[in-house]
Amino acid sequence: MTVTGPWRFALAATATVSRGTLVVFGLACWFFPDRIPTGTLLRAVALLCFVPEIAGWWIRRAHAATLAVVDDALALRGRAAGVEVALGSIASVVPWRVPLPAPGFRLGLRSGRALPEGPVPIDPGAFVRMLAAGGVPEPVLRTAAQHPLTRYGTAKRAARTRLDRPLIKFVVFSLVPTVPLFRLRQLIVYGGLLGEYYQYGWKVYLLGFAIFWLLYAVYLLLYAAVLRAATEAVALLAAWWTPSAAWSVRRVAEAIHRTLYFAGVPAVLVLRFFPW
């Protein structure tokens, strides 16, 4: 992806609003579980999280680009147009001070200007290595190669697994709390697992299950957002304080994150409802 200044600001704003909303409501539900009506929560998440997230997705899609070295030039080829910069004209490769919407770079040219399009590579470290392999001098890349945000972005990319995919993490895994809690509601309110079906039919029964599924998917989204905020804070601080340990700290932080998420939710259900 490549973005110019205004679009980068728009992406940073959408990411901050959507992620920040989840963290704020996640903490609010944790400390004040009975003070936020369910309807208010769902409307707030839809308006302040999903709408900005969709807007950010649209901007990222519109600015998607491939970054490659072709014939001694850095080619940035997007959906609508492309830019090629001679590698010999690159005077500096400087990581953005704030890694929003993700770690990116400012490319300074020997003419004294900067490239308007800022590359936002999936793997910052691989991007720097690609430039080095293409012939960009080591002094030009030294800052970028050793910068904490480059290590932070590379470690983040390397730490991703299939379990981090939203479909698995929120849609599939949300069945873990949904199924037993929906069953409990049926037993308490209707006297049996299919009580609501016998009274109102399949349409109402399945709609009730879908609402439960959506609600607990949102709760898991809030929980994951709080865990993600803590994980990213630890990884970012580690990258700044001890850049050489960025990958090790990230790996441990992600392991703790997944344990608290995928094992913590079933553990809470067992501790809360198991007849000790």
List 69's β-bridge partners, or say none: 74
- Checking if the pLDDT of 276 tops 80, the result is no
Give the pLDDT confidence of 34-43 residue by residue, as tens digits: 788 888 899 9
* More confidently predicted of 36 and 226: 226
Q: How confident is the model at residue 48 (pLDDT cuts 50, 70, 90)?
A: very high
Helices (H), 37-146: 38-45, 51-62, 124-134, 138-146
Q: How far apart are CA 109 and CA 141, in angstroms?
A: 13
* More confidently predicted of 262 and 192: 262
Q: How far apart are CA 139 and CA 143, in angstroms?
A: 8
Q: How confident is the model at residue 91 (pLDDT cuts 50, 70, 90)?
A: very high
73-78 and 82-86 beta bridge pairing: antiparallel
List 75's β-bridge partners, or say none: 68, 84
Q: How far apart are CA 117 and CA 1, in angstroms?
A: 9
Q: What is the pLDDT of residue 214?
A: 94
Domains of the chain (ranges; CATH) run 64-146 (2.30.29), 161-276 (no CATH)
Nearest CA to 21 among 214, 222, 217, 167? 222
- Checking if the pLDDT of 33 tops 70, the result is yes
Inter-CA distances, 175 with 39, 153, 168, 178, Å: 21, 32, 10, 5
Q: What is the pLDDT of residue 80?
A: 60
Question: Residue 275: is the preceding peptide bond cis (ω within 30°)?
Answer: no
Looking at residues 97-124, what average pLDDT do you find? 89
Q: What is the pLDDT of residue 275?
A: 60
